[in-house]
Amino acid sequence: MKKYLSFFRLRLAMGLEYRVAALAGLTTQFFWGFMLIGAYRAFYESNPSAFPMTFQAMVSYIWLQQAFLAFFNTWRYDNDIFSLITDGGISYELARPVDLYRMWYAKNLAMRISEAALRFAPVLLLAVLLPQPFRLGKPASPAHLLLFLCTMTTGLLLMIAFVMILYGLCMRTVSPTGIRLFIPAIAEFLSGQIIPLPFFPEKMRKVLELLPFAGMQNVPLRIYGGDLSGDAMWMSIALQIFWLGVFLVLGKLLFRSTVRRAVVQGG
């Protein structure tokens, strides 16, 4: 376990060095969140009763989504890993006396945490200082805040487990481009990153809430504002944990099978 913690610490330290890139991303995330809230406000003012979430819950959803975008972004990968897969450098990784899945998982976890660490506090601070109705609201209760933190952590682990499966699939293809573009786009839509899941038609929403993608960000963001509570909340948390276990097992099995059959061109 110490060697994987070492990979985690090294990747974390490396990620914390990119402060200028974090500043640029921070500015983009803040103004993008502000524009989304403005657009939703126009729709809410036209017919407030037609929406399944309160406007304050929607505002909290957007600001938290922007603050912790590094956790929830389905498009965020370690490009160095894709380079290793495509240029044959993975042979050096396989020569290490470590488990490839655990090593890459630790690196991806550190990468996302380092990016979020540089951005979440300024976004939350600015969101709290904004005037109503654009201000980030308080959590529904202290219990909801605690559950938000727990489910966000689980969602982060679930997101990385999902990305690890994509790495495993890319090792079985000649080019990873198709997988990198197609699957994350679907996951982004189904996870509520573009449109929150409560806005989908009821029958479709019930299906989407059973899928693993709902646990990546829909669950924690809705818990914070109290939009998800009661039995539905506990069911969503149970599904989130269930899918995390499934993705971890599938990823490990995929890596084990792929590594056994791996062939590096030229040797």
Is it true that the peptide bond before 131 is cis, omega within 30 degrees of 0?
no
Measured CA to CA, the distance from residue 210 to residue 213 in angstroms comes to 8
d(CA 179, CA 169): 8
Specify the length of the chain in residues.
Answer: 267
The pTM of the full predicted model, rounded to 2 decimals, is: 0.88
Q: Residue 253: what pLDDT?
A: 93
Mind listing the pLDDT tens digit for each residue in 120-172? 888 888 888 888 888 888 888 899 999 999 999 999 999 999 999 998 888 88
Residues 6+ apart with CB under 8 A from 121: none
Helix, strand, coil % (nearest 5) of the chain?
75, 0, 25
* Confidence label for 265 from pLDDT (cuts 50, 70 and 90): low
| Radius of gyration of the CA atoms of the chain, in A | 20
Tell me the one-letter amino acid at 258.
T
Q: Is 196 helix (H, G, I), strand (E, B) or coil?
A: coil
Residue pLDDT, tens place only, 202-230: 899 999 999 999 999 999 999 998 888 88
Report the pLDDT averaged over residues 27-45: 83
Q: What are the tens digits of pLDDT across the range 14-34? A: 766 666 666 666 777 888 888
Token digits of residue 55: 């406007």
